[in-house]
Amino acid sequence: MGHQILEAFQYILGLGPTVMLPIVVFILAICFRVKPGKALRSAVIIGMGFVGIFLIFNLLIESVGPAAKAMVDRTGIDLPVVDTGWPPLAAIAFASPVAPFVIPMVVLLNIVMIMLRWTKTVDIDLWNYWHFAFAGALVYSATGSFFLGLLGAAIATIATLKIADWSAPYIQKRFNLPGVSLPTLSSAVFFPVGVLGNKIIDSIPGVKKLKADPESIQKRFGVFGEPMMIGLILGILIGIIAGFSFDKILQLGMNLGAVMLIMPRMVRILMEGLIPLSDAIKALLKKKFPDRQDITIGLDISVAIGNPAVISTALLMTPITILLAVILPGNKIIPLGDLSTLTVPMAMIVLACQGNIIRSVIIGIPVIIANLYIASYLAPLVTQVAKSIKFKFPEGASSLVNSFLDGGNPFRYWLVMLSQGNIFAIGAIPVIALVIWWAYKITRKDFDENGDLKA
């Protein structure tokens, strides 16, 4: 029976986010009494918006990927852990024994938390439940305890939903995504880091005055400050660092300029489908629960990647990350598969820094250092999980595999250490609680007495 449930579940997820999400959206819309015709239109537009976002996102990955590989090859170093990128980790997570139990548990937890007013986020992004399943799979593999695996996944879910609630007003205002929150674990956990980093930079003379957000760049440089031109220039620079031929350099520049220009337009298509659904949910909640009009729709982090400051920061971080991997003593992973998705952890840091690219890069450096060391340390465990489910390893990855972003995520690492009874992980609980409380207090100053985010 369990095997059949797993097969059915894997089939549904196998449809991919662009098919699965519209189905979930349509069912949700009908549950919230949206007229079938309107619900269908919203669901289809949302699906097509994601088709567009993933098309452009793939263009970003396919453009930066070879350049990143060329940069790595030019360093001439050979590190033992192969960075496969995140897709194999998602496959490993969904094929793990805990996955069929994690998914319904996450749905149930989300419903219970909404009913008890512990969250405002309706997480409809089922595909990204793999982040919670992967946390559960790692804890299960590290401890051999099925219960601890589920508990790890539950803690990851609750923490992610709470951070999604916390960051939602900023996402809606600064990224122009009304009614949306972003409960993607691999990004959300860096929001408090961004808040604290931004506060620390505020007290550093000289550095605190450095400002480089897309608006101020555009004002200063005119046409050359437009996002598409920034993409073009960064693409040319990355091509030069990668040692590309002249024609390849120009192609990379044009591709990255196109990503900067087209991605925000794809997000607008998605929002066209989402807003009627969001309005219908709010209208019904207003009727049933007059004081619950704060519900947000939880979407994939990719809708925030259209922000020019996010893409610019990630492109600047690409050569920096390779340099860090080369010079850090004890690092065992060479970033490759995940290099083109640096937008994911950087998105929430950029959000906390109000789009300031210089600050985001400064905060991004210690984040990447932590990720590289954690990914190096967790590689044997991730490889063990992969082997236990008979995962087909990519060619040339016979020894150790991991992904330096998702496999080096500090929050999942802390959960694994905690489940093993690590004294430092247990001791870190009050420290983390204090840091989160401090970050939360910092953000409270951004709101007026009505609870609205100040301009």
| Residue 183: per-residue pLDDT | 95
State the helix-helix crossing angle for 191-201 and 423-444, rounded to 10 degrees: 70
| Residue 448: per-residue pLDDT | 80
The CA distance from 332 to 16, in Å, is: 32
Q: How is residue 85 annotated by DSSP?
A: -
Residue partners of 436: CB distance under 8 A and separation at least 6: 192
Query: 411: closest CA among 388, 429, 384, 434?
Result: 429
| Residue 359: per-residue pLDDT | 94
Helix H segments across 334-422?
Answer: 343-352, 357-388, 410-419
Low-confidence ranges of the chain (pLDDT < 50): none
| Residue 364: per-residue pLDDT | 96
Residue with tokens 């860090």: 324
| Residue 5: per-residue pLDDT | 59
Query: 381: closest CA among 336, 412, 411?
Result: 412
The CA distance from 236 to 254, in Å, is: 8
| Residue 34: per-residue pLDDT | 83
The CA distance from 296 to 274, in Å, is: 11
Q: Which two tokens stand for residue 340?
A: 């083109």
Residue partners of 283: CB distance under 8 A and separation at least 6: none
b/e 224-233 (16+ beta carbons within 10 angstroms → b): ebbbbbbbbb
Query: 137: closest CA among 200, 88, 203, 190?
Result: 88
| Residue 4: per-residue pLDDT | 65
Q: How is residue 335 annotated by DSSP?
A: -
| Residue 398: per-residue pLDDT | 54
The CA distance from 307 to 350, in Å, is: 9
